[in-house]
Chain A
Amino acid sequence: MEEIVLETRNITKIFPETIANKNISFKLKKGEIHALLGENGAGKTTLMNILYGIYMPTNGEIFINGQKVTIKSPLDAIRLGIGMIHQHFMLVETLTVLENIILGLKEYGFVINKRAVKEKLKEIERLYSLKVEPNVKVWQTTVGEQQKIEIIKVLFRGANILILDEPTAVLTPQETQGLFKILKKMKDDGKSIIFITHKLEEVMQIADTITVLRKGEVIKTLPKDKTTKSELAQLMVGETQTCDFLRKRKETDETILSIKGLTVYSDKGTKSLKGVDLDVKRGEILGIAGISGNGQKELVQTIAGLKKVAEGKIIFNGVDITNKHPRFISRLGINYIPADRLAMGVAPNLSSIDNAIMRRYYRFPLSKRGIMNYTKALAYTRMMAKAYKIKLDNPFAPIKLLSGGNMQKLILAREILENPKLLIASYPTRGLDIASTQFFRQKLIEIANKGKTIILVSEDLDEILSLSDRIAVMYEGRIVGIMDAEKADKNTIGLMMAGAKA
């Protein structure tokens, strides 16, 4: 018997600048774990937010147990038996576990009937081996425990359909295995689970059915038994487009950047880089492939001086730049296009002028003895806009009003105009349309052909394969393999991205 508990038909969600979901149809069966697989920006989270009532779809229908429903708010979703476990936990840290679990529930009284709650907790523990200590405060618990609290919260509200958004992103491998055991028990109990992830390994381990999303569309739905990791990897990243930039390889044997045993901690205190060794040759384009969250961001931010090195050394052009000030590093000739434009690349509410001069505002002629020359700054911005075809109607308007492509062009121009010896481009084409993407790739090839060195970080395997001379693959804070791009194929890289050794 194949009972469909949840179905979407042609769900479309259009945001002012992008189409996040396009005609998404999928079916969730009773008692299955259904993985939604896709890269960042593939539209997974948007879809889930629609199911949970945070967004309303522009078009399309949702059916629960065969009934057509409209989900206007999370309250509606809960009433329909849908529970969501967010990537970032929604817990009140200063309350106890028990208080968090019943937060917002009326049936346990104004003075909480703790005995009734504890009885229900026992029941949940018996069914799913989900055990928590009810009387401790949430801030005293570990991340793994907090996730259990979130799951219990959802079960307490009678959810039959559980949505987990990247649940393993914050867990240790042991905690992940623990979570999987719980998920299997819930499945055996007849609950249906949507598991959002971009980790192939986990999909193969836990899912029954897999739906692959790419660029807001369903690419394919297939049972786990009939697929392989490398097939999934290819479905995720798409087919290779032919790319005819004329790359004249210019790399030398001389090492321009040498990284030895680099260890870096994340803000949470876990190791995000676990002893990275890497030599970059002068004149090459080195692609760094990997599924996001495996240390690529930390690696390039550390090179740019934005993260503290715990162990190891970074030598650039013979100069030790370990733990040096970001400006010292950029003046030595390392420039960096950050992964997240709005979070780091620009000051969004300031004008395009202010943003365009960020790298050189402190130098003559833009400033002299501590005084800015904004006339020169305006001229510089206009020159930049012209040379890089940035559509800049009003350079005094906040830069956040520019389109993503134009903003990214301005960042690229700002960094290239510093005439760097090494340019680090982190996800340079993420979220851009085809024309801007082509423009970017063209520019990168152009400056590499002039003998500059480039480190290119991307999740887009096609981009990495078509632009790079050499490709390094990162997995869990390490470089697991490095190969010549001409000898590389997508399959091998895909597997390495999923953790297989070279």
Chain B
Amino acid sequence: MLYFEKRQSVPQYFKVIIPIISLLIGLIIGAIAVAIVGINPLDVYGGILSNAFGSWYAFSETLVAATPLILITAGLIVVFRMNVWNIGAYGQYIMGAIFSSYFALFASHGLSKPAMLVVMVISSMIGGAIWALIPTFLKIFWEVNEVITTLLLNYIALYILKFLMYGPWKNPESYGFPLSKTFPQTAILPVLFKGTRLTVGIIFALITVLIVWFLIKKSKFGYEVRVIGDNPLAAKYAGISVNRNIIIGMAISGALAGLAGMTEVSGIVHYLQVKIGADYGYTAIIVAWISYLDPLVTILASILFGGLASGGYSLQITMRVSYGIVGLIESITLFSLVGAQIFLNYKLRWKNGSS
């Protein structure tokens, strides 16, 4: 009988080898699936690779997709390390987008571009944080499970966004499409390199990662997070206020998801609409997980996923492959990456006998 046995200690190199092997296995299974549909898998993978990393423009698009992922993941890491499961980055992202769009759409007159952008950054972070703090207080005061509440608030955020887009914030000249007026020039994030869509958002993301890295590794808050994550009872015994740290962590996590929403509407879309890429909020959960909750690894993992997304997206245009195929490959790879993590802590053994 096959069974899992817990590893006593985990060699460091496992943390590198296991994801690489599982990525390869995922790609092989994906290749089989693609072959069944009658497409040459090498063409697909080659296409994704060249569309994601093949040229400077392709790579800039990968970074565009990586920007919100990095921001959201960096925040999720902080709370995941305390075993608090924020599944609500999706909704916090939307709230960040809505809050910052309010200023872009209705309060832009008289503000210079830098002032406008600062207002938008701050308001998006406040919007995301509020959305993350509602379930946090429910958890602290009434022990409501945050997995459920953060998830449900995602739908509420989405419907608020839809209400605004079909109702009060709708652009009268949009021919019935659910989108707002275009933002004024002052509310648009500057592009870093001419000819690309890559904005200063990526710089926000990299700075954020450094800050989170510093928080986790060097700050007193990071120490407390570590103790809480490993043994909340020991934390209480050491006089650490568990609730206070969870509140701070959730506020950070929500604020960064909100900021990601702002970089997307202000940097890429330039108006508010129903589809603003809030799904990054879910992808980021997986990115956080396969990054071993390490902020620096997050950059790498986010670029990988950003590349898969943008490479796959362009593939349907260049090769006329259905995006469903790309989605399939993406899902299989994810499944394999996340599933293989069990081998970090367990090894497979064979046991004789029937019992």
- Hey, which bits of chain A sit against chain B, CB under 8 A? 72-73, 75-76, 304, 306, 325-328, 330, 336, 338, 343-350, 354, 358-359, 361-362, 367, 370-372, 374, 401
Contact = CB atoms under 8 A, between A and B. Distances in A.
A361 B236 contact: no
Given A348-B230, A349-B230, A359 B355 contact: no
B290 to A, nearest CB: 20
A349 B239 CA distance: 19
Contacts of B152: none
A346 B234 contact: yes
A367 B220 contact: yes
Contacts of A304: 237
Contact of A359 (B218, B235, B238): B238
B177 interface: no
Interface in B174-229: 218-223, 226-227
Interface in B225-266: 226-227, 230-231, 233-239, 241
Nearest to A73: B355
B234 A358 contact: yes
Contact of B227 (A72, A350, A374): A350
A350 B355 contact: no
Interface of B: 9, 218-223, 226-227, 230-231, 233-239, 241, 353, 355
B218 A372 contact: yes
Main secondary structure, interface of B, reads helix
A306 B237 contact: yes
Contacts of A327: 238-239
B194 to A, nearest CB: 40
A122 B231 CA distance: 47
Contacts of A350: 226-227, 230
Given A345-B237, A347-B235, 19 more contacts: A72-B355, A306-B236, A326-B237, A327-B239, A330-B239, A343-B233, A344-B233, A344-B237, A345-B234, A346-B231, A347-B226, A347-B231, A348-B230, A350-B230, A367-B220, A367-B223, A371-B218, A371-B220, A374-B218
B222 A347 contact: no
B355 A76 contact: yes
Candidate in A73, A344, A401 with the most chain B CB atoms within 10 angstroms:
A344
A435 B92 CA distance: 57
Contacts of B219: 370-372
A348 B234 CA distance: 9
A350 B229 CA distance: 10
Contacts of A325: 239, 241
A472 to B, nearest CB: 23
B34 to A, nearest CB: 41
Contacts of A343: 231, 233
Candidate in A73, A304, A326, A330 with the most chain B CB atoms within 10 angstroms:
A326
Contact of B220 (A349, A354, A362): A362
A21 B30 CA distance: 53
Contacts of B235: 347
Nearest to A343: B233
Contacts of B236: 306, 326
Closest 7 CB pairs of A and B: A327-B239, A347-B230, A347-B231, A358-B238, A72-B355, A326-B239, A73-B355
A347 B355 CA distance: 36
Contacts of B230: 347-350
A233 B66 CA distance: 68
A370 B239 contact: no
B80 to A, nearest CB: 15
A347 B233 CA distance: 9
Nearest to A338: B237
A297 to B, nearest CB: 13
A244 B238 CA distance: 34
Contacts of B227: 347, 350, 354, 358
A344 B230 CA distance: 11
Contacts of B9: 401
Nearest to B354: A72
A349 B9 CA distance: 11
Contact of B223 (A306, A349, A361): A361
A214 B127 CA distance: 62
A99 B82 CA distance: 37
Contact of A370 (B221, B231, B234, B238): B221
Contacts of A306: 236-237
Contacts of A346: 231, 234
Contacts of A359: 238
B282 to A, nearest CB: 28
Nearest to B240: A327
21 contacts: A75-B355, A76-B355, A306-B236, A325-B239, A326-B238, A338-B237, A344-B233, A344-B237, A346-B231, A347-B234, A349-B230, A358-B238, A361-B223, A362-B220, A367-B220, A370-B221, A371-B220, A372-B218, A372-B219, A372-B222, A372-B223
